[in-house]
């Protein structure tokens, strides 16, 4: 089984290991392949002027794109960085061995673009983990104000909810809001962030088991 994890904000060097990395590492232990797509801001790989780099960590193949992204950036530059990551991920993903499942995380919502495209291109299931509602969050914080951008984000949000085979919400309030937006409850799973590693892996095993007809992903 080959799993793609698309996560622009995935922190590879933080004190606390991201839960999707834990799921990926468990897949590796069980003999599966995992490729992670992220940006170099959260990696210690020195790319210099290179556009793309590859490293391995605990068996994970990690593709990092040299896409500058800082908190201090204005909305326009951040938007450009989001779309650049989406474009580079979609292009690179089509040059690699095909996945059996595509797993993406939002925010940013734009990570859904390559995830949906690769899922469609390879004819494989798509799982989306929603950690914050977009564009709701940026709008409430005042960091997304342009009406056309908000409208485009709403459309992308709807497309993701409709095309994802499973949606994983970080908590019940997020799940409730997603349910109100055209999503049948059967597609939703709530995997709380305060669960133990074993519980997170067990819950993701249930998610994957329900969408693939091949061998169980985490067995």
Closest to 20 measured CA to CA, from 133, 145, 106, 142: 106
Distance, in Å, from the CA atom of 33 to the CA atom of 24, rounded to the nearest integer, reads 8
Per the domain annotation, does 174 fall within a domain? yes
- How many domains does the structure of the chain reveal? 1
Per the domain annotation, does 218 fall within a domain? no
Distance, in Å, from the CA atom of 9 to the CA atom of 29, rounded to the nearest integer, reads 24
Q: What is the CATH number of the domain that holds 131?
A: 3.40.50.2000
Distance, in Å, from the CA atom of 126 to the CA atom of 6, rounded to the nearest integer, reads 11
Per the domain annotation, does 219 fall within a domain? no
**pLDDT of 81:** 87
Quick: pLDDT tens for 192-204.
988 998 999 999 9
**pLDDT of 41:** 66
pLDDT tens, N- to C-terminus, the chain (219 residues): 899 999 988 777 665 778 899 999 999 998 999 999 998 765 566 777 788 888 888 889 999 998 877 676 777 888 888 899 999 999 999 999 999 999 999 999 999 999 999 999 999 999 999 999 988 787 788 778 888 888 988 899 989 999 999 999 999 999 988 888 766 766 889 999 889 989 999 999 899 888 876 555 555
Provide the domain limits for residue 75. Answer: 2-209
Residues counted in the chain: 219
**pLDDT of 134:** 85
Per the domain annotation, does 158 fall within a domain? yes
**pLDDT of 43:** 55
């Amino acid at each position: 089984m080959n799993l793609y994890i698309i996560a622009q904000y995935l922190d590879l060097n933080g004190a606390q290991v991201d839960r999707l990395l834990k799921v990926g590492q468990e897949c590796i232990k069980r003999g599966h392949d995992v490729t992670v797509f992220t940006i170099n801001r959260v990696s210690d790989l020195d790319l210099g002027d290179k556009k793309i780099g590859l490293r391995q960590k605990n068996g994970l193949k990690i593709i990092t794109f040299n896409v500058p992204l800082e908190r201090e950036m204005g909305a326009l530059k951040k938007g450009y960085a989001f779309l650049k990551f989406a474009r580079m991920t979609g292009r690179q993903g089509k040059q690699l061995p095909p996945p059996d499942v595509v797993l993406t995380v939002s925010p940013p919502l734009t990570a859904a673009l390559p995830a949906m495209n690769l899922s469609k291109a390879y004819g494989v299931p798509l799982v989306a983990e929603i950690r914050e509602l977009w564009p709701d969050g940026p709008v409430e914080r005042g960091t997304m104000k342009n009406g056309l951008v908000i409208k485009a984000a709403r459309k992308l949000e709807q497309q993701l909810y409709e095309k994802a085979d499973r949606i994983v919400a970080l908590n019940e309030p997020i799940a409730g809001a997603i349910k109100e937006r055209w999503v049948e409850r059967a597609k939703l799973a709530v995997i709380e962030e305060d669960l133990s590693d074993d519980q997170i892996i067990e819950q993701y095993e249930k998610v994957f088991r329900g969408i693939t007809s091949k061998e169980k992903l985490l067995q």
